[in-house]
Amino acid sequence: MHQPEQDHALLLESRTVLPTDHGVFTTCAYTFGDVTHVAMLMGEPAQAEAPIVRMHSECLTGDTLGSHRCDCGDQLEAALQAIAAEGTGILLYLRGHEGRGIGLAAKLRAYALQDQGMDTVDANRALGLPDDARDYTAAAEMLRDLGCSTVRLLSSNPAKAEALTSLGITVADRVVLPVVDRPENSHYLQTKRQRMRHDPLAGRVSVEEDTFPVYRTLASNSEVVAQLAQSADGFIAARGGDAEFVSGEADRTHLHHLRAAVDAVLVGATTVTRDDPQLTVRAVQGENPVRVLLDPRARIPVASRVLQSADARTLWLVGQDTEVPSGCGEHVEIVRLPASAAGSSAGADGAAGTSIEPAAVLRVVREHISGSILVEGGGKSVSAFLSAGLLDRLFLTVAPVLIGDGVPGVRFEGSKVMGEALRAPFRRYTFEEDVCTEFVLSQAARDHDAAQIAGQSAAQAVGHATVQNTGQEFDAR
């Protein structure tokens, strides 16, 4: 950051009221040097021991145009919500801070370099610009004029607190607003955490705490998502079919959260015959989803737990003319797949030499299930739904283990050149030693994420977490 300029006088230009979606704020225009800034006040912050304060840097693209390349617009909304919920506080809207102080045109040039693969820090440096050129002298002067020499700062950036402290303002606490990363800005924000000392999202979070917003998003919408855990070299099981504990306990807890969030979980016949899974919610609180067994030749043994245990309603999807053995539980409903479901060898998991078209399967399932559906396995089924363009999200966990040769994980017909490879916005979660990437594949999923952020309540906004300096974003350790 630039060294503060001390040779300007602060001038209060005007004072009025501003009604907003978050309440009525007293709004002051201050000019410092040649730049006019805005202070938005609610309540009597000068009477508070340490009012909450947000120093918000001007961002035309994020605050006004709704860009998702940064989180500025979301941070602005969350800060106003937090101040309104507390009833007392200040938002300082600092102009001249566009692009961390490099200006609008330079910021857009840096965006162009980021489009080519640079991160936000390297892009600035390639243009001969500083990582952060912002000056907070005006903010300190405004706070002094408003009678607030001690504050609680709403920020995940320790450099802001350090700057205010050096300017004579006491920062009694620094609070991270619970703003969720978007797929479009996840890499940008992770760069700031790794290279610019920004804090993890709301401190450390645990998968056991059900804090990941995507669980609520899936529960309140109708999506088709897939989950797969594989080794670092791309296998979901050893050569002999042993798939137990490819990933660790935290990733398995994440899987149970997904099961609890969806209405149905779909697996292929090979997964059931190999693993004899229960497909129920056990590691977390929640209702069991409907089990959907994709088995056109009725290969699943009748003694399998999914056909004997009445823990969950079960749909057994079999071929039109397939003979189904007797002896399964009353909770099992036989559903005949239409003849049109027969597909190529690239289709979803059936039997050796057979496959079915994922779109036809989904149409059949949708006659019984209206909410979100989790395609849980195996690798062939997940790959087929992905290749068919039917997935809204894919949760792909990579475990730090090398199998060498085994049952393949995600596999589909790829592109001949890297420029045509499948790329999508993503989030990344750290589950102990495993790393899970959530690919947000559809526009519907991105819209659902945006609605989730927009719908955050004022209670969430003010339910802040005091900053911790350890852990990683979405760290389940």
Tell me the β-bridge partners of 41: 26, 90
Among the listed residues 132, 181, 263, 475, the single catalytic one is: 132
How many other CB atoms are there within 10 angstroms of residue 389's CB atom? 11
Q: Rounded to the nearest 10 degrees, what angle do helices 443-454 and 213-220 cross at?
A: 110
CA–CA dist 291, 306 (Å, integer): 8
CA–CA dist 164, 456 (Å, integer): 29
Length of the chain: 477
DSSP designation for 342: B
Among the listed residues 134, 152, 299, 427, the single catalytic one is: 134
The alpha-carbon radius of gyration of the chain (Å, integer) is: 26
Task: Identify whether 134 is a catalytic site residue.
Answer: yes
425, 446 Cβ separation under 8 angstroms: yes
DSSP string, 50-84: S-EEEEEE--IIIIIS--SSSSHHHHHHHHHHHHH
Q: Which residues of 65-94 are buried (b: 16+ CB within 10 A; e: fewer)?
A: eebbbbbbbbbbbbbbbbbbbbebbbbbbb
CA–CA dist 194, 229 (Å, integer): 26
Tokens read off for 254: 């994440």
Sign of CA dihedral 372, 375, 381, 387: positive
Task: Identify whether 135 is a catalytic site residue.
Answer: no
Instruction: Return the closest-CA partner of residue 251 out of 437, 436, 438.
Output: 436
- Torsion over CA of 136, 140, 145 and 146, rounded to 10 degrees? 100
Q: How would you classify residue 40: left for phi > 0, otherwise alpha for psi between -120 and 50, otherwise beta?
A: beta
- Torsion over CA of 268, 273, 276 and 279, rounded to 10 degrees? 10
| Whole-Å CA distances, 217 to 189, 228, 326, 425, 444 | 21, 19, 39, 16, 11
Q: Is 89 helix (H, G, I), strand (E, B) or coil?
A: strand
180, 201 Cβ separation under 8 angstroms: yes
DSSP string, 243-279: -TTSS-HHHHHHHHHHHHHSSEEEEEHHHHHHH----
177, 154 Cβ separation under 8 angstroms: yes
The residues assigned a catalytic role are: 132, 134
